[in-house]
Amino acid sequence: AQKVTQAQTEISVVEKEDVTLDCVYETRDTTYYLFWYKQPPSGELVFLIRRNSFDEQNEISGRYSWNFQKSTSSFNFTITASQVVDSAVYFCALSEGSGGTSYGKLTFGQGTILTVHP
Amino acid sequence: DTGVSQDPRHKITKRGQNVTFRCDPISEHNRLYWYRQTLGQGPEFLTYFQNEAQLEKSRLLSDRFSAERPKGSFSTLEIQRTEQGDSAMYLCASSTSTTGWETQYFGPGTRLLVL
């Protein structure tokens, strides 16, 4: 069975600090997909980034970057120069797939509450 | 693209009553998912449809829960004889599987409170 663990329950930073959110996953599949979602106080989950298991290349997109390491089953997410508007709950999620097509069903971690103070 | 919409946004009901929620996916998205999220937890998968076919149901989905997606467009989730433990946020998401690289987009959710 697949499992996602976000060990950090809450993180508090001051604006402009960099912050890294940790995610560790478990799966028996060799093909899988990893995601990060943001849930602001309004409640709607907002898609941020995704990565498939074939590609360990780490990327940067604006203020977001991620570090995917299959050897440690980790998919960490970094926000550079945090802003107050980044305050939200962040979820890491996993879906298993085969043949290049995701099975779709997402397994979420418990979330990390990020508070960015002015 | 208009996003995923859900109705109602909030529902308060008494224990034992039936409730029905509606989800309208992003147009042309062939997959639709329902999740449930309780306070302080991540969303948990309930069920999903590909077009009008319900392809998978979680063990979380008791006999009191039923979901439909007639004609492969909008979906409804009905809870019969509600219990206080059903109080949660019910989230709907849609995606397309045609590209083989699927990202789910979520609606704003329906927050249910059972008194």
Judge whether A90 and A4 are in contact, CB under 8 Å: no
Contacts of A105 in chain B (CB under 8 A): 33, 45, 48, 56
Contacts of B33 in chain A (CB under 8 A): 104-106
CA distance A82 to chain B (A): 23
Over residues B71-75, mean pLDDT: 91
Which of A55-64, B30-39, B58-67 has maximum average pLDDT? B30-39
Model confidence at B25, pLDDT cuts 50, 70, 90, reads very high
Contacts of B38 in chain A (CB under 8 A): none
Would you state the pLDDT for residue B101? 64
Tell me whether residues B42 and A110 touch, CB distance under 8 A: yes
DSSP states of A36-97: EEEE-TT---EEEEEEETT-----EETTEEEEEEGGGTEEEEEESS--GGG-EEEEEEEEEE
B40: closest chain A residue by CA: A110
CA distance B17 to chain A (A): 25
The tokens for B39 are 């306070």
- B75 half-sphere exposure, CB direction, 13 A CA radius: 33
Would you state the pLDDT for residue B99? 59
Interface of B with A (CB under 8 A): 31, 33, 35, 40-45, 48, 56, 89, 91, 93, 95, 97, 100-109, 111
Tell me whether residues B104 and A104 touch, CB distance under 8 A: yes
Along chain A (118 residues), what's the average pLDDT of each consecutive run of 10 residues? 93 97 93 92 90 77 89 94 97 78 81 97
Between these two residues, A99 and B105, which has the higher pLDDT value? B105
Is residue B24 predicted with pLDDT exceeding 70? yes
Would you state the pLDDT for residue A97? 67
Would you state the pLDDT for residue B12? 98
